[in-house]
Chains A and B, each alone.
Chain A
Amino acid sequence: MDELVVVKDLKKWFTVRAGLFTRRKARYIRAVDGVSFSIRRGEIFCLAGESGCGKTTTGRSLLRLEEPTSGEVTFDGVNVFALDRTGLKTFRRQAQIIFQDPYESLDSRMAVFDSVAEGLVVNKIGAGRSERIKLVSEALEEVGLTPTEEFIFRYPHELSGGQRQRVAIAAAMILRPKFIVADEPVSMLDMSTRGSIVKLLMDLQKTMQLTFLFITHDLPLMKYISDRIAIMYLGKIVEMGPSEELIDNPYHPYSQALISAVPSPDPDESMREVKIKGDISLSLEATPGCRFASRCPYASEKCQETEPELLEIRKNRYLACHKMKRH
């Protein structure tokens, strides 16, 4: 299996404005601070972590929706950050994004047809309205909004949350992309409809040989559907590996805490004790050492001084930790 997306040492720092009249140096929030991973063709890869860990910024930067501070992303062998306007347009046809909130991602004044056909218009696909109606109808059929005549000229407020997300998926699929970034695509939906959207995405993935990057905090769902998972903490990947294996047996103290904190719906399984204290705290200063050290129950002096690298400690299992190396 070859690699469709390769991310090398990606960084995205946001400048925090120093006061207007002060001479203080500009400071940075290191939202993404040296992230490397690759996504294989046909794979469902997941970036997981708590809010503020940089997972969304990573996804947006690799699509160049956000200009990165440094690093390299290649998509199908092409350097994404070197693309000019035309190149970028071709790239965007192949790489689409689905957002969390279908209430916000669709324009409330645009009918379903206009939202879905927007990509066709931008890319000058389909001659005239009748052909575009045909293409949009096909896309709606693929996402299960049938009979399509009933949906094509409706407005977002007339649709349920699940239906809106289907429209957003149709809009992403109509350009026949190879790669989809899905940022929390089901977290706004009700439990009972969530599964149907997940199934739709999985079916599309199979029939169209799509590659997926899921960005989510929903670890139970990722255990069920993703192939590989990378856990992020404060702008870094701390652990990466096959999803089921990693979630059943995490190595990094942070992954361990994160996974044990997820409640189980089975009341006969007792809650696990959460060993770590405190809350994620964004630091504006670059500190040496491991970013998790201040909360880590196993931290030693070395952890405060040098930052651990993400290393393959076992086949397919990557870990950035000084302490848990010998597994």
Chain B
Amino acid sequence: MPQNTLLDVKGLKMYYQVVGRRWVKAIDNVSLKQLKNENVGIVGESGCGKSSLALSILRLLPSNARIMGGEILFDGTNLLGLPEKDIRRNFRWKRISMIWQGAMNALNPMLTIGNQICEAILVHEDVSKEEAWRRAEELLKLVGIEPSRAKHYPFELSGGMKQRAMIAMSLALNPDLVIADEPTTALDVIVQAQVLDLIKKLQKEFGISLLIISHDVSLVFSIVDRVAVMYAGKIMEWGPTSEIYHSSMHPYTHFLMESVPNIRSKKRPIGFIGGAPPNLLNPPSGCRFHPRCPYAVDVCAKEEPPMMFIWSEHSVACHREDELRSKWYG
């Protein structure tokens, strides 16, 4: 593996067991690579498996989840092969931290925000309580919260401030990778922009890599270098953000981009995709998108398309990629 690869997910399969010994195929053969100092995004609709992917990387899966195959290499170590104790001590929070979905509600309401940050530091590092508190105050200052606020409880802070406190906490141990699952969904747009500015600034300062997971295409595309488009537990397309936006090759990505209005472009009709995402207890045969795809042909229902390279950085899983490419882009 090249020196600069930070995260390398290879052929990951993760299923949830449900009543009747049946399996929900939440993540099915997903591969993804993230370089050091690079931001990667995962976009997809609800239930496509994007949050499950984050939980798999952090090894925080619920008890009914099972990894059925694949590897998650983090800086060369396969996280899936390590005992929980090792993950807890050496990886989670310390090297990989997370900003949760609706982070403002992920804070413990019974502890002051200063104490919560201290706790994270004290568990992992051998420092005095005073030193931890001093660092907590510093972190809060860094994210633009008055250090005196460390003594406040979450309910005393606004939504944007709680989100900032969460970011401060995720940075407490100076991690290499921050996974942000819907980091700004509950925030208003101005506060969202402030939080994004902050994330970008801190990232430059500390050399952190971000893995952003969201349904919000505009949000993800405005900050990441490369993006994976997930649908029904699979990655449909993977490549540099600009290419995915301007010259997507997968029909799902193509129609998804048409359904996203851009405030800075001219008025146009909004696109959509008929039907609804499939039930992953019993996913469609062949390509999982074929029942909703207007370009589907016989082979799409029979054979699963492999991930094909358009060039070394851009790959797509579609049987008709060649034809569609000439149809859309000449």
State A275–B82 Cα separation when bound (angstroms). Answer: 47
State A133–B124 Cα separation when bound (angstroms). Answer: 65
Query: Quick one: which of A250-268 are within 8 Å of B by CB?
Result: 257-268
State A224–B241 Cα separation when bound (angstroms). Answer: 24
Q: Would A191 and B259 count as touching, CB distance under 8 A?
A: yes
- Determine whether A71 belongs to the interface, using a CB cutoff of 8 Å to chain B: no
Q: Would A196 and B272 count as touching, CB distance under 8 A?
A: yes
Measured CB to CB, the nearest residue on chain B to A200 is: B272
Q: Would B196 and A263 count as touching, CB distance under 8 A?
A: yes
Q: Would B45 and A191 count as touching, CB distance under 8 A?
A: yes
| Chain A residues with CB under 8 A of B255 | 192
Q: Would B277 and A261 count as touching, CB distance under 8 A?
A: no
State A277–B195 Cα separation when bound (angstroms). Answer: 11
Interface size on A, residues (CB 8 A): 45
Q: Which of B194, B241, B261 contacts A274 (CB 8 A)?
A: B194
Measured CB to CB, the nearest residue on chain A to B259 is: A195
Measured CB to CB, the nearest residue on chain A to B158 is: A279
A189 to chain B, nearest CB (A): 9
Q: Which of B160, B161, B194, B272 contacts A192 (CB 8 A)?
A: B272
Q: Which of B223, B257, B274, B277 contacts A190 (CB 8 A)?
A: B277
B34 to chain A, nearest CB (A): 17
Q: Would B217 and A265 count as touching, CB distance under 8 A?
A: yes
Q: Would B196 and A199 count as touching, CB distance under 8 A?
A: no
Which of A106-114, A117-125, A215-223 is found at the contact surface with chain B? A215-223
Q: Which of B46, B222, B273 contacts A271 (CB 8 A)?
A: B222
| Chain B residues with CB under 8 A of A221 | 261, 270
A285 to chain B, nearest CB (A): 18
- Determine whether B85 belongs to the interface, using a CB cutoff of 8 Å to chain A: no
Q: Would A258 and B189 count as touching, CB distance under 8 A?
A: yes
Measured CB to CB, the nearest residue on chain B to A268 is: B242
- Determine whether A148 belongs to the interface, using a CB cutoff of 8 Å to chain B: no
| Chain A residues with CB under 8 A of B196 | 263, 271
Q: Would B272 and A199 count as touching, CB distance under 8 A?
A: yes
Q: With A199-B272, A264-B222, A267-B245 given, is the CB distance from A220 to B194 under 8 Å?
A: no
| Chain B residues with CB under 8 A of A244 | 267
Q: Would A198 and B190 count as touching, CB distance under 8 A?
A: no
Measured CB to CB, the nearest residue on chain A to B191 is: A279
State A277–B313 Cα separation when bound (angstroms). Answer: 39
B144 to chain A, nearest CB (A): 9
- Determine whether A299 belongs to the interface, using a CB cutoff of 8 Å to chain B: no
Q: Would B222 and A190 count as touching, CB distance under 8 A?
A: no
Q: Would B260 and A224 count as touching, CB distance under 8 A?
A: no
Query: Quick one: which of A177-196 are within 8 Å of B by CB?
Result: 190-196
| Chain A residues with CB under 8 A of B264 | 264, 266, 269
B283 to chain A, nearest CB (A): 16
State A269–B245 Cα separation when bound (angstroms). Answer: 11
- Determine whether A50 belongs to the interface, using a CB cutoff of 8 Å to chain B: yes
State A194–B267 Cα separation when bound (angstroms). Answer: 17
- Determine whether A44 belongs to the interface, using a CB cutoff of 8 Å to chain B: no
- Hey, what's the 0/1 contact readout for B267-311 against A, CB within 8 Å counting as 1? 111111110110000000000000000000000000000000000
Q: Would B245 and A261 count as touching, CB distance under 8 A?
A: no
Q: Would B245 and A265 count as touching, CB distance under 8 A?
A: yes
- Determine whether B202 belongs to the interface, using a CB cutoff of 8 Å to chain A: no
| Chain B residues with CB under 8 A of A161 | 276
| Chain B residues with CB under 8 A of A259 | 263
Q: Would A192 and B268 count as touching, CB distance under 8 A?
A: no
| Chain B residues with CB under 8 A of A264 | 218, 221-222, 262-264
Q: Would B257 and A265 count as touching, CB distance under 8 A?
A: yes
State A273–B270 Cα separation when bound (angstroms). Answer: 27
| Chain B residues with CB under 8 A of A265 | 217-218, 221-222, 245, 257, 260, 262
- Determine whether B131 belongs to the interface, using a CB cutoff of 8 Å to chain A: no
Q: With A191-B45, A193-B272 given, is the CB distance from A267 to B263 under 8 Å?
A: no
| Interchain Cβ contacts under 8 Å between A and B, 21 examples | A163-B276, A192-B272, A192-B273, A193-B276, A219-B263, A223-B261, A261-B190, A264-B218, A264-B222, A264-B264, A265-B217, A265-B221, A265-B262, A266-B265, A267-B221, A267-B224, A269-B264, A271-B196, A271-B222, A274-B194, A276-B190
